[in-house]
Amino acid sequence: MSIVTVVAKLVVKEDAVQTVKAELLKLIEPTRQEKGCIEYRLHQDNAAPNIFIFYENWENMASLEQHLNTTHYKNHVVAVTGLISDKVVHKMTCIA
């Protein structure tokens, strides 16, 4: 099995932090129930509250791709469109 780890950093526009945070929190429970989701954690930076980091582990790339096609994820994308100033997603495989 090839577990895929995702670390995603979102930089939210200053005036949209609470709106985006609420939308991000809506993703947690349904995503954790998805087949193939091992771990799905959301963090907010203490010094810069407009920065959010997701730390995720998925059974494989197919599970991650299925997540990106769920209704709750697609609804999230629509809800935060225009509210995020930067997004970087790292999809990684553990090597040691």
pLDDT value at residue 4: 96
Residue 95 has a pLDDT of 85
**Architecture of the domain defined by 4-93:** 2-Layer Sandwich (3.30)
Domain residue ranges of the chain, discontinuous segments joined by +: 4-93
| pTM (2 d.p.) | 0.94
C-alpha span between 87 and 85 (Å, rounded): 7
Q: Taking the CA atoms of 30, 35, 39 and 45 in sequence, report the sign of the dihedral they define.
A: negative
Which residue stretches of the chain have pLDDT < 50?
none
Q: How far apart are CA 93 and CA 54, in angstroms?
A: 16
